């Protein structure tokens, strides 16, 4: 046990600490201005955030003839019975205002010849309603504009290159964070006090061997909240993007859905358009159905390809410069050749359970963006609703914090400092391969039970706090997937291929419950003394 080490040299501002430098974190910081806040980001701003890689854009019913009601209805339909309808209506209803906020922060959304916001179509949207930037450059443009605005806002202090790996608690309320320097996982941690913590750490894709997410998306934010006792909602629902480009890169570059919106088709190695037989909407069917179609072709050995040679041909580079670059750098010319693809872990619908104001079940802890679970996505996310959810909830959290009397700051916090080591690459590979193979596009009881035992053992045995956090999140996903004995939305069980109306409810769980489930399967070694100490800290 030790007391709070020196943190002054980090120059923390104010009593609100936001963890994450993606859209949710930066937008929340800007909305809180001029209140002093500190933003902690593992990667330098503009890097290591899924936001920067978004190609489609943001869904908002700003086009002629479109309406928030229609947007909410599409969101509810795609969520396979689990979307919280009140949340979907408020999300769609607040979209236009948040797009105007982004314009005021300098995001140069594309406009049509009359100067109105240009809107594109994406799968399962009943109208053209995706606002975008220079075709597929939305994410880059959003993060650049917000980074510039944040850096020019004196009330926001940004600390880059440090990551949060534990929450500090006092009297059942969040009282601060334990930080470690990136690249020095085994170094001395830093503890910073906070009266309000906003977790905006993004998704969990990097827990999977094949993913479109950056390495920072390891589910650490979700794990530290769960270790502190926060409720977690719908963790079993992970969306797999059907068209990750398979050119041996980790993470895999993405071929945006908008390509299929523009007429690109899916074929197997024999040139057959396999989605025609799978769904009436063929290539524009909901993501989970397309992902399973692609998965089946890859698993059969026929391979799967995205063919834009007829739909775009010579216009490919102009309309989809990011995808074009990814292909060309791997020696594939998408104007003339089909692109090899496979499904990849892409988006986590589940996360830290939050209410309409982004509050978690723990006093002093809010969560925004992909790390949270608001109920907006249910069992499946409608394309381009995630960036929207990030801004809508970041704004609400800022408003909520402004109107909340926060607990007093603790000047000295008793902290535990678990010894930690760098991640063992073999253990990390085991975790990522187990997630991809057993907790992936197609799941079944035996595979999930094996995964639960593997993650429980890793969580208990590893000497790396980062790997322990990764295993915690993996355990939450796998135990919930095992408990849901049906197929719904993105969660597909080969042993329960049908939807079961009796299970048409969202689930919430705690880490203690997940560990109990693991123990019942014979995989629940009691957390080691080292991990017990971490739990006490967290």
Ligand X SMILES: Cc1cc2nc3c(=O)[nH]c(=O)nc-3n(C[C@H](O)[C@H](O)[C@H](O)COP(=O)(O)OP(=O)(O)OC[C@H]3O[C@@H](n4cnc5c(N)ncnc54)[C@H](O)[C@@H]3O)c2cc1C
- Residues labelled as active-site residues: 287
CB neighbour burial string for 298-317, b if at least 16 within 10 angstroms, e if fewer: beeeebbbbbbbebbeeebb
Distance in Å, CB of 387 to ligand X, minimum = 3
Size of the site for ligand X (CB under 6 A): 45
Nearer to ligand X, 60 or 518 (CB): 60
**299/42 Cα distance (integer angstroms):** 36
Nearer to ligand X, 23 or 482 (CB): 23
Q: Is 50 in the site for ligand X (CB under 6 A)?
A: yes
Between 465-483 and 425-438, two packed helices, what is the crossing angle to 10 degrees? Answer: 10
Q: Is 327 in the site for ligand X (CB under 6 A)?
A: no
Q: Is 347 in the site for ligand X (CB under 6 A)?
A: yes
**509/450 Cα distance (integer angstroms):** 20
Asked if 37 contacts 56 with a C-beta cutoff of 8 angstroms, the reply is: no
Nearer to ligand X, 394 or 452 (CB): 394
Closest by CA to 336, choosing from 370, 367, 309, is 309
Asked if 73 contacts 45 with a C-beta cutoff of 8 angstroms, the reply is: no
Per-residue tokens: 466 = 């980062």
Q: Is 53 in the site for ligand X (CB under 6 A)?
A: yes
Q: Choose which of 198, 254, 282, 531 interacts with ligand X (CB under 6 A).
A: 254
Nearer to ligand X, 252 or 298 (CB): 252
Q: Choose which of 369, 440, 489, 527 interacts with ligand X (CB under 6 A).
A: 369
Q: Would you list the DSSP string of 108-170?
A: ---B-TTSSBPEE--TT-SS--EE-STTT-HHHHHHHHHHHHHHT-TTEEEEESEEEEEEEEE
Q: Choose which of 13, 18, 30, 55 interacts with ligand X (CB under 6 A).
A: 55
Strands (E), 351-466: 351-353, 365-367, 372-373
What string marks each residue from 212 to 231 as x (binds ligand X by CB under 6 A) or -? xx--xx--xx----------
Q: How far is CA 15 from CA 25, 41, 67, 197, in A?
A: 15, 17, 39, 9
Nearer to ligand X, 75 or 487 (CB): 75
Q: Is 382 in the site for ligand X (CB under 6 A)?
A: no
Distance in Å, CB of 377 to ligand X, minimum = 10
Q: Choose which of 245, 387, 395, 478 interacts with ligand X (CB under 6 A).
A: 387
Nearer to ligand X, 389 or 518 (CB): 389
Nearer to ligand X, 46 or 340 (CB): 46
Which range in 80-88, 379-387, 499-507, 516-524 contacts ligand X by CB under 6 A? 379-387
Give the sheet arrangement for strand 58-59, strand by strand. 58-59, 130-131, 119-120
DSSP assigned state of 44: P
List the interface residues with ligand X, window 189-208 (CB under 6 A): 200-203
Pairing of strands 16-19, 196-199: parallel
Nearer to ligand X, 368 or 452 (CB): 368
Q: Choose which of 390, 448, 449, 518 interacts with ligand X (CB under 6 A).
A: 390
Q: Choose which of 38, 322, 326, 384 interacts with ligand X (CB under 6 A).
A: 384
Residue whose entry in the numeric block shows the structure tokens 């249910």: 378
Distance in Å, CB of 141 to ligand X, minimum = 12
**132/110 Cα distance (integer angstroms):** 6
Closest by CA to 202, choosing from 167, 174, 230, 164, is 164
Distance in Å, CB of 303 to ligand X, minimum = 22
Nearer to ligand X, 75 or 427 (CB): 75
Closest by CA to 156, choosing from 14, 352, 306, is 14
Residue whose entry in the numeric block shows the structure tokens 């994450």: 20
List the interface residues with ligand X, window 131-190 (CB under 6 A): 138, 163-164
**73/76 Cα distance (integer angstroms):** 5
Which range in 40-48, 94-102, 448-456, 521-529 contacts ligand X by CB under 6 A? 40-48
Q: Is 24 in the site for ligand X (CB under 6 A)?
A: yes
Asked if 480 contacts 236 with a C-beta cutoff of 8 angstroms, the reply is: yes
Distance in Å, CB of 111 to ligand X, minimum = 18
Give the DSSP H/E element, type plus range, for residue 359: none
Asked if 372 contacts 204 with a C-beta cutoff of 8 angstroms, the reply is: no
Residue whose entry in the numeric block shows the structure tokens 């950056």: 214
Distance in Å, CB of 509 to ligand X, minimum = 21
Q: Is 23 in the site for ligand X (CB under 6 A)?
A: yes
Q: Choose which of 18, 28, 49, 72 interacts with ligand X (CB under 6 A).
A: 49
Per-residue tokens: 134 = 């220079």
Q: Choose which of 57, 286, 293, 447 interacts with ligand X (CB under 6 A).
A: 57
Distance in Å, CB of 44 to ligand X, minimum = 9
Q: Is 48 in the site for ligand X (CB under 6 A)?
A: yes
Which range in 328-336, 363-371, 486-494, 516-524 contacts ligand X by CB under 6 A? 363-371
Q: Is 20 in the site for ligand X (CB under 6 A)?
A: yes
Residues within the interface to ligand X (CB under 6 A): 19-25, 40-43, 48-51, 53-58, 138, 163-164, 200-203, 212-213, 216-217, 220-221, 254, 346-347, 369-371, 384-387, 390
């Amino acid at each position: 046990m030790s007391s709070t080490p020196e943190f002054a040299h980090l120059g923390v501002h104010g009593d609100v600490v936001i963890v994450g430098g993606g859209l949710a974190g930066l937008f929340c910081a800007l909305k809180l201005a001029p209140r002093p806040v500190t933003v902690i980001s593992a990667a330098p701003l503009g890097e290591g955030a899924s936001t920067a890689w978004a190609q489609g854009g943001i869904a908002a019913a700003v086009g002629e003839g479109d309406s928030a009601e229609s947007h909410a209805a599409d969101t509810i339909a795609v969520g396979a019975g689990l979307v919280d309808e009140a949340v979907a209506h408020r999300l769609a209803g607040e979209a236009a205002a948040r797009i105007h906020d982004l314009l005021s922060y300098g995001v140069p959304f594309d406009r049509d010849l009359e100067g109105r916001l240009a809107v594109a179509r994406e799968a399962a949207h009943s109208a053209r309603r995706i606002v975008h930037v220079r075709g597929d450059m939305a994410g880059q443009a959003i993060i650049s504009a917000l980074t510039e605005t944040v850096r020019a806002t004196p009330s926001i202090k940004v600390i880059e290159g440090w990551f949060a790996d534990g929450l500090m608690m006092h009297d059942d309320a969040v009282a601060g964070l334990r930080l470690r320097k990136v690249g020095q996982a085994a170094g001395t941690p830093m503890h910073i006090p906070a009266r309000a913590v906003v977790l905006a750490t993004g998704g969990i894709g990097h827990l999977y061997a094949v993913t479109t997410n950056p390495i920072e998306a390891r589910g650490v934010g979700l794990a530290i909240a769960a270790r502190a006792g926060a409720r977690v909602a719908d963790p079993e629902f992970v969306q797999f993007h059907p068209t990750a480009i398979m050119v041996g890169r980790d993470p895999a570059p993405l071929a945006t859905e908008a390509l299929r919106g523009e007429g690109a088709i899916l074929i197997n190695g024999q040139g057959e358009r396999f989605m025609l037989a799978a769904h009436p909407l063929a290539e524009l069917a909901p993501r989970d159905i397309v992902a399973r179609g692609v998965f089946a072709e890859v698993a059969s050995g026929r391979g799967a390809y995205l063919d834009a040679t007829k739909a775009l041909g010579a216009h490919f580079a102009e309309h989809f410069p990011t995808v074009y670059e990814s292909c060309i750098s791997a020696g594939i010319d998408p104007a003339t050749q089909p692109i090899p693809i496979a499904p990849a872990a892409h988006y986590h619908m589940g996360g830290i359970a939050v209410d309409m104001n982004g509050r978690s079940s723990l006093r002093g802890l809010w969560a925004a963006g992909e790390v949270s679970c608001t109920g907006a996505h249910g069992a499946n996310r409608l394309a381009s609703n995630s960036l929207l959810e990030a801004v809508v909830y970041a704004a609400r959290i800022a408003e909520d914090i402004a109107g909340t009397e926060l607990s007093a700051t603790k000047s000295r916090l008793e902290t535990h400092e678990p010894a930690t080591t760098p991640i063992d690459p073999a253990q990390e590979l085991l975790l990522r391969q187990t997630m991809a193979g057993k907790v992936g596009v197609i799941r079944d009881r035996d595979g999930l039970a094996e995964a639960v035992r593997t993650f429980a053992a890793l969580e208990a045995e590893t000497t790396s706090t980062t790997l322990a956090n990764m295993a915690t999140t993996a355990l939450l996903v796998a135990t919930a997937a095992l408990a849901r004995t049906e197929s719904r939305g993105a969660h597909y069980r080969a042993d329960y291929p049908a939807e079961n109306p009796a299970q048409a409810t969202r689930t919430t769980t705690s880490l203690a419950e997940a560990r109990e489930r693991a123990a019942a399967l014979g995989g629940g070694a009691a957390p080691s003394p080292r991990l017990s100490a971490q739990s006490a800290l967290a």
